[in-house]
């Protein structure tokens, strides 16, 4: 028996696979003890528009308009657990009372306009911190504007980048404590789920990947050693997270570089994540090296999510160039993933959920203020 993974190409009402699931994009799903109204996840998208880590009205409008459309889960952009963990000066943080106050205002609004649940992605940029915003070039900041960065090892992300400080025992303890503090703030703000960022070449991924991790202590070398710190972070967060709030881990399934972190290691890691209390695995890829060779294409990461789901039994979220409603629905119906995450599509069309509901002849919540538009569509 063999399985064909349909990356995208979706024919109306027909899905080419040996089986067909009755569950689709607009069916409810339970993540831990949290029930989502549909299986659409708005992936975290950095806006690079915060001031000292604090969100503002830009974020309110950006996330608020998406919430009006009613996706099942909206994940707040990568949020640094300490100031040194921000990717850029404009990145969101959750390390001060002001950060918490403004983010809570935005979360409250998003949850007031429909049935969307709100998650937050907590992370630390590690050696990829202290960089320019993408539209400023995306390179390492110059010496005058930069700040001290940290990583699993003292090797730079790329030529011309700053050299990070290798986290010692006290540093590891400090960063772990910052993850715990940010989790407690997240709970106070009223988030519905927490996602830990262990992908895209950021700090936790920097421990996982042998391309970056050159340590010779108990946190480097072997697979078991390299996964130790991310698991310690997960366990520390899980310890203070109320049982009703699910915990998600975002992973890069492969570095797309020979000799790097790969799908087999991610699958083994995912099994351990589930055993440690993780509720869902969000499967992305890449980001650890400028030498990566990514075969971009429609739903190009979905087959990796499907592999992890099949081999571990984990609840998985597929992401990456998923753009069309029938494509997204087919990923769910063919058992490749439990949820799909979209990012850029929601920047192009914050009401993508309504578009998908119409294409799939499904129902989605529409606030009464907008219902008259629907009557004539």
- Among all chains, which residue has been given the structure tokens 């986290």? 167
| Segment 150-205, tens digit of pLDDT | 999 999 999 999 999 999 999 999 999 999 999 999 999 999 999 999 999 999 99
CA distance 211 to 140: 19
C-alpha 60/C-alpha 107 separation (Å) is 8
User: Could you tell me what percent of the chain has a pLDDT over 70?
Assistant: 94
Distances (CA, A) of 56 to 36, 61, 90, 92, 365: 27, 9, 11, 10, 27
Class of the domain covering 29-375:
alpha beta
Q: Does 202 participate in catalysis according to the annotation?
A: yes
pLDDT band at 1 (very low <50, low <70, confident <90, very high): very low
Task: Name the band, by pLDDT with cuts 50, 70 and 90, for residue 15.
Answer: very low
Radius of gyration, alpha carbons of the chain? 20
CB within 8 Å of 8: residues ≥ 6 apart = 297, 298, 299, 322, 324, 327
Does the pTM of the predicted model rise above 0.85?
Answer: yes
Give domain limits for the chain: 29-375
Distance CA 41, CA 282 (A): 10
> CA triplet 16, 362, 300: central angle to 5 degrees?
40
Q: What is the pLDDT of residue 228?
A: 98
CA dihedral for 240, 243, 244, 247, sign (positive or negative):
positive
18 has pLDDT over 80: no
pLDDT in tens, 297-339: 999 999 999 999 999 999 999 999 999 999 999 999 999 999 9
pLDDT of residue 14: 41
pLDDT tens, position by position, 73-132: 999 999 999 999 999 999 999 999 999 999 999 999 999 999 999 999 999 999 999 999
What average pLDDT does the structure give for the chain? 94
* DSSP string covering 97-134: HHHHHHHHHHHHHHHHSSS-EEEEEEE--GGG-SB--G
Active-site residue identified among 95, 202, 219, 229? 202
Q: What is the pLDDT of residue 21?
A: 66
Given a cut of 90, is residue 372 above it in pLDDT? no
Q: Which residues, including other chains, have CB under 8 Å from residue 150's CB and lie 6 or more apart? A: 84, 124, 126, 127, 129, 164, 165, 166, 167, 171, 175, 203
Whether 273 shows a pLDDT value over 50: the answer reads yes
The answer to whether residues 155 and 214 touch, using CB atoms and an 8 Å cutoff, is yes
Which pLDDT score, from 0 to 100, does residue 10 have?
41
Q: How confident is the model at residue 377 (pLDDT cuts 50, 70, 90)?
A: low
């Amino acid at each position: 028996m063999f399985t064909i993974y349909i990356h995208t190409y979706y024919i109306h009402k027909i899905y080419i696979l040996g089986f067909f699931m009755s569950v689709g994009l607009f069916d409810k799903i339970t993540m831990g003890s949290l029930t989502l109204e549909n299986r659409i996840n708005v992936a975290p998208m950095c806006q690079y528009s915060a001031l000292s880590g604090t969100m503002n009205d830009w974020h309110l409008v950006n996330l608020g308009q998406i919430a009006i459309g009613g996706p099942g889960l909206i994940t707040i952009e990568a949020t640094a657990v300490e100031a040194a963990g921000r990717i850029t000066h404009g990145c969101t943080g959750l390390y001060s009372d002001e950060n918490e106050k403004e983010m809570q205002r935005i979360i409250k609004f998003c949850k007031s306009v429909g049935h969307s649940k709100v998650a937050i992605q907590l992370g630390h940029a590690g050696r990829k911190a202290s960089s320019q915003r993408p539209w400023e070039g995306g390179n390492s900041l110059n010496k005058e504007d930069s700040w001290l960065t940290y990583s699993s090892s003292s090797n730079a992300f790329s030529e011309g980048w700053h050299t990070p400080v290798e986290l010692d025992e006290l540093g590891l303890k400090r960063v772990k404590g910052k993850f715990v503090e940010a989790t407690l703030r997240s709970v106070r703000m009223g988030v519905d789920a927490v996602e830990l960022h262990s992908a895209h070449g950021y700090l936790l991924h920097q421990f996982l990947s042998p391309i970056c991790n050159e340590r010779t202590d108990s946190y480097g070398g072997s697979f078991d050693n390299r996964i130790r710190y991310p698991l310690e972070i997960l366990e520390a967060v899980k310890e203070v997270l109320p049982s009703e709030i699910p915990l998600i881990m975002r992973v890069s399934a492969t570095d797309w570089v020979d000799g790097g972190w790969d799908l087999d290691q991610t699958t083994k890691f995912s099994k351990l994540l589930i055993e440690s209390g993780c509720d869902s695995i969000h499967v992305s890829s890449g980001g650890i090296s400028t030498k990566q060779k990514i075969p971009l294409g429609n739903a190009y990461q979905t087959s990796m999510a499907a592999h992890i789901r099949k081999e571990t039994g984990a609840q998985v979220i597929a992401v990456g160039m998923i753009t069309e409603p029938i494509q997204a629905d087919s990923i769910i119906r063919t058992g490749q993933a439990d949820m799909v995450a979209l990012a850029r599509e929601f920047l192009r069309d914050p009401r993508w959920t309504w578009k998908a509901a119409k294409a799939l002849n499904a129902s989605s919540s529409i606030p009464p203020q907008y219902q008259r538009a629907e009557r004539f569509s």
